Amino acid sequence: MESILLSINPEYVERIFAGSKKYEFRKRLANKTVDKILMYSTAPIMKVVGEVQIIETISASPTALWERTKKFAGISRDKYREYFKDCKVAYAYQLGQVIRYDPPKELRDFNISLPPQSFIYLSVEQTDNEEPNKIG
């Protein structure tokens, strides 16, 4: 059971909470099998705002991945294409149950000083917090 902390734009975090974004796209995946993502909402929020379960990881050509995920991509086709420009393989985490932290947490609550550029693994001790409010 592995968890990672991802930096995600607040616009996309809100789409994840709303259920209109069910895939988190990445140029690379974690090497370990991940079952939970903690979401760090980037500026101006700059807090860990929630977590989401991972249903599966997907890898495919950018075109094939878009066709599979476009209904709940939560991102425009143009932004998707721009993100994966020059990539031969595209990756996505399929997102499941979402939990919103109320109130949002500080990085220091997880013994982290700087937000991740891509992602960082979290230990069980770092993610063993009180039961937050569930969404959906």
Nearest to 54 by CA among 108, 14, 16: 16
What global pTM score does this model have? Answer: 0.89
Q: Is 41 helix (H, G, I), strand (E, B) or coil?
A: strand
Q: Is 43 helix (H, G, I), strand (E, B) or coil?
A: coil
pLDDT tens digit sequence for 35-86: 999 999 999 999 999 999 999 999 999 999 999 999 999 999 999 999 999 9
- What is the domain class of 3-135 according to CATH? mainly beta
Whole-number pLDDT of residue 124: 80
Whole-number pLDDT of residue 129: 55
pLDDT tens digit sequence for 9-31: 999 999 999 999 999 999 999 99
Distance between CA atoms of residues 125 and 30, nearest Å: 19
Handedness of CA 28, 31, 33, 37 (dihedral sign): negative
